[in-house]
Amino acid sequence: MSNVGTKKIKFINMEARRVGSGIRELRLRRGRSLEEFARMTNIPSDYLDRLEEGYEPEVERAVLARILEIGEARCRYYTNQDLINIFLCISPRNPPEKLI
């Protein structure tokens, strides 16, 4: 990940796919369809789908923060890398009790 501290987070290597997997897992753990979660987060469903699939090379920091807030992931973060790490730990391999 580059541009620590900026408003946009640019993903490197496989981060986009791994973060997208975390976004999808968070949404599914809340029992929401893509369309429902998009409405709840005020993010266009096609953009949310691209994020989940890992097709977006960068994302606004505020978008990831909103996804965490609406997804009810209780956490604090300080840097862009901390924010990325939250999504990287939310995966099908990590049960809900292991969330940050």
Instruction: Tell me what percent of the residues of the chain surpass a pLDDT of 70.
Output: 75
35-60, pLDDT tens digit by residue? Answer: 999 999 999 999 999 999 999 999 99
- Residue 21 belongs to a domain: yes
- pLDDT at 92 > cutoff 50: yes
Q: What DSSP assignment string belongs to 57-75?
A: SEEEHHHHHHHHHHTT---
What domain range includes position 53?
A: 8-92
Task: Say what the pLDDT of residue 6 is.
Answer: 56
Using the predicted structure, report yes or no on whether residue 80 has a pLDDT greater than 90: no
Q: Evaluate whether residue 3 is within a structural domain.
A: no
pTM for the full predicted model:
0.73
Q: Averaged over 4-24, what is the pLDDT?
A: 82
98 part of a folded domain: no
The CATH number that applies at residue 84 is 1.10.260.40
